[in-house]
Amino acid sequence: MSDSATKPRPQYRNLSVPQILSYRLPLAAKSSILHRVSGALLFLCIPLVILPLFALSVTSPESFAEMREWVANPLFKLVLLALIWGFLHHFFAGIRYLILDLHIGNDKYSAQKSAGVVFGVSLGLTLVFGLKLFGVW
């Protein structure tokens, strides 16, 4: 019989909040968690933000002008920026998971690298769209 079968397993009890907060997740795990968060964000914002804006934009020219006033508000622009980030991150992380489903890049190094690419591309494009949204150019 091997020695590993006789060793007692470590027991972790009474974890405190600082211990949990000090744990560092790998980049791939952060990407996975944010993929779920961005999907939930997009799903919940469909009836709350996206459909009402779409309805205002196609009803009449007056309602389109009202929608433009809403979108001109800087606080609403931050909401739109969060939705833009959510869409871009969810889109690129979804492509990453489709590639992982094809058994490409399943090793640890490639998975960490592809998670970094997802973060870089989604945040970079969010910055570009955010600059356009806030009227920098």
Q: What is the pLDDT of residues 45-86, one digit of tens each?
A: 999 988 988 998 999 999 999 989 988 999 999 999 999 999
pLDDT by residue (tens digit) across 87-128?
999 999 999 999 999 999 999 999 999 999 999 999 999 999
Q: Cα–Cα distance between 65 and 62 in angstroms, integer? A: 5
Residues 6+ apart with CB under 8 A from 135: none
Listed by start position, the domains of the chain span 26-133
Indicate the CATH number for domain 26-133.
1.20.1300.10
Q: What is the pTM of this model?
A: 0.81
